[in-house]
Each structure stands twice: as C-alpha cells, then as structure tokens.
Structure 1
Amino acid sequence: MAGIDSNSGNLDLFGTDPAQSAAPAPQSTGKTKNPLVMTKAESKLLDAAVLIETAPPTGDDMAFMHAIMCQVGLPRSKVDGIEFERTCGNAALNVSAGKLWDGKKFVQQPIPYGAMPRLMLGWMNTYAVRNKTPEIPVGDSASEFLRTLGKDTSGGKRGAFTTFRKQVQALSACRMTLGFNANGKAYTYDGKPIKQFEAWLQNTEDQRPLWPGSVVFSEEYFKTLTEHAVPLDIRAFVALKGSALAMDIYSFLVDRLHRISSRPVMLHWTNLREQFGQEYQGKNADKDFKTKFLLALRHVLAVYPQAKVKQVTGGILLFPSPPPIPYKF
C-alpha cells in the first residue's frame, strides 16, 4: 500500500506504527477512538485505494480540473465576509462572492468552500470537455452526481440536495481574479468562470430558493479549460471528498509530478504552507499544518499509487511520476 517514504521508514496509509500491528487492540471505553480500528471514511478510502491499484482507469473514470485550480484552490472552510485570497509563489487567487436574482431581488451568495464545489467543478469541467460545450445541464444530472458521491439524494436543511443547491449558487455567482508573474511581467485575469446561471423558482411562504437548471461557462474559462484541462481519476477524487486539503494536494500532484523532467523538486515547509496552509493561524500553526498535511498526503498517495513523493528534512521531494490517467487516453 502506498505511503510516504520518510527518513524514519515507510508510513502506512493511516500512520500507524507497523511494529504495533500485531498487538491486540485495546478495549474501547466508548470515549476515545481505538487507533487500530478504521473509521467508515478510512475504510472507504482503503477500498478505493485497492480498486485503483488493481484496476486501471477506464474512460469513464477520467475527469478534468482546470490547471489553474490545481495550483490555487478555493477556500476549504466557510469564509466570514465576501472575499477570499490565496497566494502560491508567483500566482494568487482572489474570490469575491456575488449575488443572484431570485425573481424579486438580488440575493447575496456566500463564497463557495469545501469539497462540494471542487467536486462540482470537476464534474462540470468533464461534461464541458467531453461534449465540447460550455453549457452544462446541472439540474437534470444532480441526482446522478450525488449518487456518484455516495450521497443520499434527500432534501431538508442539511440534505445533500440542499448543500448542492447552495454551493452551485455560490459557485455560479462568484468572481475569481487570478494574478500571476511570467516573463518579467505581472498579469491579472478577472472574470467569472460561470457566465450564466439559469434556475427554476420554487416558491415558499418565506423564501424563493433557486433550483439550478443549467450553467454556462464564460467563453474565456471554457477556452482555457479545453487548452489546459488536467485529467484526474474521479475514483480517487471522490474517495478524498472528506478532506478539501487532500483533494487540493491530489490535484496539485496530478498536475505537477508528470512534468518533472529528471531531478527531483524540493518543496520546503514554508512553500507548502504558503500554498496549502494559509488557514492555519495561531501559536502552533506550523506544527498543526504539518500534521494535517502529512495525514492528507498519506491518503492522497493511497489513491495515487504511481506518485513518488519522499518526506525529507525540511519538506518533501517530488520525483518524476506517471499521471494517474495514462497518456494513451
């Protein structure tokens, strides 16, 4: 099983000490989790890792993420306010929340965050690339999309349909500004990935929720997506849906590892935190980020067995590795 090759030896999928694997499991008191017993999420991740390692991907397993989103991701947790900014080396992303018309008034939407909009972008990107169209019939495919994620297609305040609706609205309304340096110049791209959001009005006594019918990518986003779409294994992406951080690390490695020519690339903890850990603040921010990053990386390597990543003093080393979707696709 894939893991992180560190200076102190190989670490398994969930970071347990191999020397303790034969020891009897301690009695659970019901107050703390038995470290030798996998959670339901860990069990599903292990099943996905075994499937991916034993069954090569088929055409149906291929999804796409925009190359830009493989470098700088959306917020991973709920954002207070209507603006979010992330910097990664010579690139930066600013996300501003927008408003949608509900038939009577403009309604402020939050900034999209977490695993759901990442999965939705991958799903919509894939439809657009495969069908060569910027228009995606979201509403007609919502149930199928949620079943793919293993979600119960239920309503209610916390149901999967409700979460889906809120995040697709937030994603459709937001504006993204990308800044990057190239050839000694500073460039700014300002636009909305989704140009148009069509929805059906569902009237209730106190509110008018919008149920998405279709979204239309902007011309610029669709053009750059078709030119810079990064193929990923949707089985791995879905398996990592419990952690937006793991999804971002996976997307980054899928885009980066196969482009390393010969010598390994060193990423220091300072660089890694700048790209993946801006949300970590406080006295123990560096330590907390490193702990969370290494756990997420373990999970990523479990579902990306071709990836060659080594933990070394001061950071990690990236080695040339084949992509999860073979070049023949």
Structure 2
Amino acid sequence: MTYDSKDLDKSNAYHYAPSVMSKLSFLPQSKPDSPSVRKTNGNSSITISASNGEWAYGAAPRMFLLHIRSLIKNGSDCVDAEHHTVYLDDTYNAFCNSVGIKYSGSNKDKVMEMVKNLATTSIVLENWSADGFIAHSFFVANTVALNYGTDESKKSFIEFSPQMWALLTENCVPLNPSIVRRLRGDALALDVYQWLAFRANGARRETRVTWEALLMQFKYDGYPMREFKRKFKRALEKIQLAWPELKVEITETGVIVRPSLPSIQSGNDDADTDAGVADDEEPMNPFVS
C-alpha cells in the first residue's frame, strides 16, 4: 500500500481528538522521573506507565495520535478497522510530513523510538462514584512495525489493542487543522487546546475551573503551582491568537470558560501564534529533551 497523507493535512478536513484526550492530558509533556504518571479530571483519572522506563512524551506523540484519529474518522484507505490497524507512510520523510513533526535525518532513531514507546505504553482508566468505581487497564498497541530502511517491501503499521481502538473510535472532538499546525511544537498548548475545544463545543453556560483542578489535569500532584500558571497562561495566549473567538478569562482562582464559537469555525487563518517558541526547557523540536 502506498500512502501519503500530506494532501489531507493541506485540505480542509478536520483533525479529531479522542474525547479522553480532550478531558485528560493523555501523555507527559516532558520526561517524567517516575515510572508512572496519574492525572485526574473530576471523577475520572488516567494513569500512564512506560515500558522499561522508556517514555513517549512531548508534542510528537500527541501529533501522532491526532493524526491516527483523524485518519480513522476521515475514512482513510490506510485504515483496516476490522483488525484495529493503521498502515503508515512508506518513507520516513512522508511519515514526518503526515504527522506534522519536524523532519530530520538525525532524528530518525528518536522518531522511531517515540512510536515504539507510545505503542508499549500501558494505561489505566478509572471512573468512580459514591457507589463504587470501574477501572480498565490495557496497552496502547498489540503490534507496531516501522520499516524505514532500504527494503521498501516491508510495510510500517500499528495494530492497536481493542481498548485503545475503542478510545480512538468513540465520540471525538473536531479540531481546526490550522490551529493544530500552529501549536504542534508545544505539548501543553496542544493539551489545553483539545480541552477547550471539548469545553466550548456545544457549551450553553460558563464553566469555572480552579488552578488546583487544572494542575491535576494537565500536570501532576507536586508540580510547582507558580510555574504551572506561567506555562498555562503562555499556552492560552498562543491558543487565543489562533482562535480569537475563544472566550476564556484568567482569574485569581482559576479560569472561566464561556460559550464560544467552535474552533473549527474560526477563520483566523493568518494569525501568527508564535507557536514555534516554546518554554526554555521545552524546545520546539519534540525530540530534543
């Protein structure tokens, strides 16, 4: 199968985020020091664990999952839904262009390592109430193969676990591809954008969220609150430049999200978000740690 999705990226086709990625910050934004990371949102939580301590983190795996979800939703020929499999581009260059990550021959090993680390990540999803709880545990993928050498007969693909496939095919949140491209170097901005797209989609009244709740959703318990506020505000500034119709107010206690025009209807295609400049310790190249 020969496939190159660059045309999809240039088209008006929407990108799509799995709803769990819009409610919970799915992956670490920087490399954790611990073997697992837990994040919460209301009565839901997600615990991510790396296989052998090898993490998928930063902007690149987020862009990869958004790319995969969009291929599924848009009915791409490279998707084998019956076997929960997505076939990837035939060349490394085409793969990077399709996913929307920086192409560099020197980064090839890191790119392939990122996909492997993501595929072997284990996940525990929990939901609880006054009466009890339910927990699901699973790996992201059953099989992953990247073959970007001289033998073009070997195909690259990822076969997702049934549980992960269910997450990828459940109700999803449409994203503006132009905004995604502008934020693609900033992991936190991508997370906050997906969350706001979810919040603003069909909202009829304002929502107030405390800084403490935001910290647990996007970072983790123990992360310095002052540093988180600084990073969150910077990420929000980038999003608002790309999505000027977004109505979000920063307060002393947190943020207020008001009903807004959905980002997919935003027509500010000429905005300059400065998305290429991330925080000092989070450079744009998602493979520089």
TM-score (norm 1): 0.67
Distance 2:160 2:111 in 1: 18
Please name the residue that 1:151 is paired with.
102
The answer to whether the aligner puts 1:188 opposite 2:130 as a matched pair is no
Number of positions where the alignment pairs a residue of Structure 1 with one of Structure 2 = 246
1:155, distance to aligned residue in structure 2 (A): 2.2
Aligned to 2:173: 230
Question: Do structure 1's residue 82 and structure 2's residue 21 form an aligned pair?
Answer: no
Q: Secondary structure at the match of 2:264?
A: coil
- Provide the alpha-carbon RMSD of the alignment: 2.7
Which of 118, 136, 156 is 1:213 aligned to? 156
- Offset at 1:114? 0.5
Q: 151, 163, 171: which is aligned to 2:110?
A: 163
Is the CA contact 1:65–1:230 (under 8 Å) kept in the aligned structure 2? yes
| 1:165 and 1:212 in contact (8 A); partners too | no
Provide the rounded CA distance (Å) in 2 between the counterparts of 1:70 and 1:277. Answer: 14
Please name the residue that 1:137 is paired with: 87
Contact 2:91–2:148 (CA under 8 A) maintained in structure 1 = no
Question: Cα deviations across residues 161-193 of structure 1 (Å, max 9, x unaligned)?
Answer: 233211101011111111122574311111123
Change (3 A) 1:276 1:223: closer
Q: Which stretch shows the higher mean deviation, 299-308 or 163-172? A: 299-308
TM superposition outliers: structure 1 runs of 4+ over 6 Å:
none
2:18 alignment partner, one of 51, 66, 90? 66
Task: State how 1:109-120 maps to structure 2 within 5 Å.
Answer: 110-120=54-64
Superposition pairs of residues 1-329 of structure 1, within 5 angstroms = 60-73=12-25, 74-98=27-51, 108=52, 110-131=54-75, 133=81, 134-140=84-90, 142-147=92-97, 149=100, 151-152=102-103, 154-156=104-106, 159=107, 161-182=108-129, 184-200=131-147, 213-262=156-205, 264-278=206-220, 281=223, 285-326=224-265
Residue 289 of structure 1, CA deviation? 1.5
2:189–2:235 Cα contact (<8 Å) kept: yes
Give the number of the structure whose alpha-carbon radius of gyration is greater. 1
Indicate if the aligned counterparts of 2:89 and 2:95 stay in contact, CA closer than 8 A. Answer: no
Aligned equivalents of 1:231 and 1:193: distance in 2?
A: 22
Superposed CA deviations along residues 265-311 of structure 1, whole A, max 9, x for unmatched, are: 11122222222232763xxx222221111111111111222321112
Rounded Cα–Cα distance in structure 2 between residues aligned with 1:242 and 1:58 = 18
Name structure 1 gaps, 5 residues minimum.
1-56, 99-107, 204-210
Distance 2:244 2:226 in 1: 27
Q: Please tell me the residue identity of whatever aligns with 2:46.
A: L
Indicate conservation of the 8 Å contact 2:90/2:155, yes or no. no
- Decide whether the 8 Å contact of 1:198 with 1:215 is kept in 2: yes
CA distance in 2, matches of 1:192, 1:266: 34
Question: What are the superposed Cα offsets for residues 11-37 of structure 1, whole Å, 9 maximum, x if unpaired?
Answer: xxxxxxxxxxxxxxxxxxxxxxxxxxx
After superposition, the Cα gap between the structure-2 partners of 1:141 and 1:239, relative to the gap in structure 1 and judged at 3 Å, is farther
- Gap change, CA 1:189 and 1:141, over 3 Å in 2: farther
Amino acid in the other structure paired with 2:161: S
Partner SS for 1:87: strand
| Secondary structure of the structure 2 residue equivalent to 1:140 | coil
Summarize deviations over 1:104-136 as a string: whole Å, max 9, x none: xxxx46121100000000011111222262321
The structure-2 alpha-carbon separation of the partners of 1:163 and 1:261, relative to structure 1 and needing over 3 Å to count, comes to same
CA contact (8 A) 2:141 2:161 kept: yes
Structure 2 spans left out of the alignment, 5+ residues:
1-8, 266-289
Asked if 1 retains the 8 angstrom alpha-carbon contact of 2:143 and 2:158, the reply is yes
Q: Distance in 2 between matches of 1:183 and 1:226?
A: 29
Secondary structure of the corresponding residue to residue 84 of structure 1: strand
CA contact (8 A) 2:88 2:95 kept: no
Tell me the distance in 2 between the aligned counterparts of 1:144 and 1:289: 35
